[in-house]
Amino acid sequence: MVPTATSLRIGARVRAERKSRGLVVLDLAEQMKEAAPERVRRRLPSSRDLERTIRAHESGKRGIGPRYRILYARTFGIDEDELFPEFVPPPPTVEGEDPATARTGAHTPDEGDEMRRRAAIQFLAALSAGVAVPPGTLETVLSGIDDAIGRPVDLAEWEAIVHEYGHLLLTRPVGSLVDGLTSDIVAVGQLLKRHEATDDVPGLLRVSAGLSGLLAIGLGDIGRHHEARIARRTAQRAADACGDRDLQVWVRGRAAQDVLWAGRPNHVVITLADDAIEIADGTPSSGLARAHSARAFVAADQGDAAGAEEALNAMKRTFDQIPDGGTDQSALMFRETQLRWAEGYAHTRTGDRRAEAALEQALAIYPPSVAGATLNLHIIQAARLVKERDIDAGLHHAITTLQAYHRPLSVAANKLVNQVLHALPEQARSLPAAREFRELASSRTALA
């Protein structure tokens, strides 16, 4: 089944309910079997088969039939009509209403009021069910007020929203901001249509580029690479259209890093990085530093120590020229934390003895709230120990790191985990500690 907008929305709602309870898919499968009446439980598939069914539901690739809707509602403790409002029968046609009008949605004098009323019901149903509000719903509810006052554009507020998302992406669980970013992108798109002939367009395009670029990061973190690529391309087009060079460079520089973690071919990473470097034309920015770091990562992964060092030096020169913007952490910024992280990763991959100091420096300056980056640093430390043939210490460090981390792993973290496992000598890959580490990582994958 090809996912539809409705199946994707319903799947996302089920996934959000599961994750809000801290459950992996197999946990939910077992709880659903426990919640089912005995006569239903006997006809349910095994927990592993049910796990696959849940994954298909959450990805939108399989519709959720009545039996499973009831099971989800019982397991989550939510009324079925609230959890799945799409399946609530529509109210009967009002006496005297033209059936054709009801079917086609033909315009009537109070259509706007009726649209807002339905949006309000949808909004309240989502809130009461504790699921994501569909994009544009609240904007529709408030549209009457906005229309009355002309819906002014507050670009400063929108810029602040972009920067807030940039900070939250580093501090919140992976994938948790996708719904909010999507809703805000819808809202900005509506503003662009309404103000397409005004001086607000460049500013709105700049906001659109920032939100779309951040959405691409969020989608990439949870392995939705196709959707991330679409968002990334939109961000590039919007950045190019608004003419903000630093933003154009950031969109491409950050994308170069992200596609590397997504496992795209090296030439794709280098093309994005080189585009960012060319557009920057020597002007220092966070995006330019990220582009150089992406080149360093590619070289390091290929065992090219000289190439990695050259790119790291270019990254450091850029960093030294970036105006001091403080110490706040954001996906839009490039701070010393990112600098030391990049050095620690590249040096670990090339076997450079400077890796240990760089990793320790990075861990010392990262704030505790940036849990994902700190986790990744610890996994890189484990990889360094394994590469130095301190197998027991490396696996112990990797295991205790994951045991203390109670969030889903990002795609980047999963790649780092695999690097630890691949660094193990053949005879060490069957060790109990290696199996435990592999199972821990699998249970915390963001794709679960």
Dump pLDDT digits (tens) for 349-363.
999 999 999 999 999
Helix/strand/coil for 409: strand
Which residues of the chain, if any, have pLDDT below 50? Answer: 93-109, 447-448
Give pLDDT, residue 337: 95
Residues 226 and 169 in one domain: yes
Residue with tokens 């599961």: 18
Give pLDDT, residue 139: 66
Assigned domain for 266 exists: yes
CA distances from 402 to 368, 371, 383 (A): 16, 12, 14
Own/partner pairs for 40-43, CB < 8 Å, 24+ apart?
A: 40/67, 40/71
Give the residue numbers spanning the domain of 385.
370-448
125-143 in b/e form (b: 16+ CB < 10 A) is bbeebebbbbbbbbbbbeb
Give the bridge partners for 89, in sequence order: none
Give pLDDT, residue 94: 47
Residues 86 and 15 in one domain: yes
Q: How long a stretch of residues is the chain?
A: 448
Alpha-carbon span 75 to 64, nearest angstrom: 15
Which of 61, 90, 119 is the last residue in one of the domains?
90
Residues 258 and 167 in one domain: no
CATH number for the domain harbouring residue 37:
1.10.260
Q: Look up residue 151 and give its two tokens.
A: 């819906």
Residue with tokens 């970036």: 322
Which of 201, 222, 243 is the last residue in one of the domains?
243
Selection from 55, 58, 60, 80 nearest residue 69 by Cα: 80
Residues 317 and 381 in one domain: no
Contacts of 215 (CB under 8 A, 6+ apart): 178, 181, 182, 185, 228, 231, 235
Residues 315 and 236 in one domain: no
User: Greatest CA span in the chain, whole angstroms?
Assistant: 82
Helix/strand/coil for 445: strand
Contacts of 148 (CB under 8 A, 6+ apart): none
Alpha-carbon span 272 to 201, nearest angstrom: 26
Residues 179 and 196 in one domain: yes
Assigned domain for 113 exists: no
Residues 254 and 300 in one domain: yes
Q: Report angle CA 226, 230, 233 to the nearest 5 degrees.
A: 135
Give the bridge partners for 409, in sequence order: 445
Assigned domain for 106 exists: no
CA distances from 424 to 35, 297, 394, 412, 445 (A): 42, 21, 10, 19, 21
Residues 217 and 266 in one domain: no
Residues 231 and 271 in one domain: no
Give pLDDT, residue 103: 38
Assigned domain for 251 exists: yes
Give the bridge partners for 445, in sequence order: 409
Which of 212, 243, 274 is the last residue in one of the domains?
243
Q: Residue 405, Cβ neighbours under 10 Å: how many?
A: 18
The answer to whether residues 416 and 383 touch, using CB atoms and an 8 Å cutoff, is yes
Q: Look up residue 144 and give its two tokens.
A: 């009457």
Assigned domain for 108 exists: no
Q: Is the dihedral of CA 116, 12, 84, 130 positive or negative?
A: negative
Q: Look up residue 146 and give its two tokens.
A: 């906005």
Domain count, the chain: 4
Residues 316 and 343 in one domain: yes
Assigned domain for 119 exists: no
Give pLDDT, residue 117: 67
Q: Report angle CA 49, 50, 51 to the nearest 5 degrees.
A: 90
Residues 225 and 309 in one domain: no
Assigned domain for 117 exists: no
Residues 250 and 325 in one domain: yes
Assigned domain for 81 exists: yes
